[in-house]
Structure 1
């Protein structure tokens, strides 16, 4: 049995595959579509609703990665996005 290295723990999934990027899942797709639509609908309640959907879906993606990511890299990525995105929202003029 080979000893598992730090690289293995950080970047490999349970099947031994190196996982850095994955195909987009539903929360990332929803975030992308809502963010693109915000460029079309720049004012009004539609923009506010799209902003809320975009924030909620990216928050959901980051939360899922943080607690269910396939390796430590994905979990770290979820943590960074969660803390960074919430921090940006708190300290920007576009708070919820």
Structure 2
């Protein structure tokens, strides 16, 4: 593997290559909100509340990845999700 890829994907805490990780609490909340919104399709206020939880949770998760990601790949992933959410929000 090239030196750049080693640097980009190497976990700074364990030294392993890290591309994906198990979801943290915030991402689990986002997943549950997304599944509920998709399966239940609630009317009115409940739909708005689920959308806020979903989008707000993704923004919180993205910021967490940007500041505490274990490698540059995870930080870039957080940045991409944040950019997408802010673009679709505006």
Same fold (TM over 0.5): yes
Q: Which runs of 4+ in 1 moved over 2 A?
A: none
Task: Name the count of aligned residue pairs.
Answer: 87
Q: Distance between the aligned counterparts of 1:35 and 1:7, measured in 2?
A: 32
Unaligned runs of 5+ in 2: none
The structure whose residues are more often helix, as a share, is 2
Unaligned runs of 5+ in 1: 91-96
Q: Which moved more, 1:65-74 or 1:34-43?
A: 34-43
Residue matched to 1:37: 36
Q: CA RMSD in A?
A: 1.5
Q: Distance between the aligned counterparts of 2:75 and 2:89, measured in 1?
A: 21
- Which protein has the larger Cα radius of gyration, Structure 1 or Structure 2? 1
TM-score (norm 1): 0.83
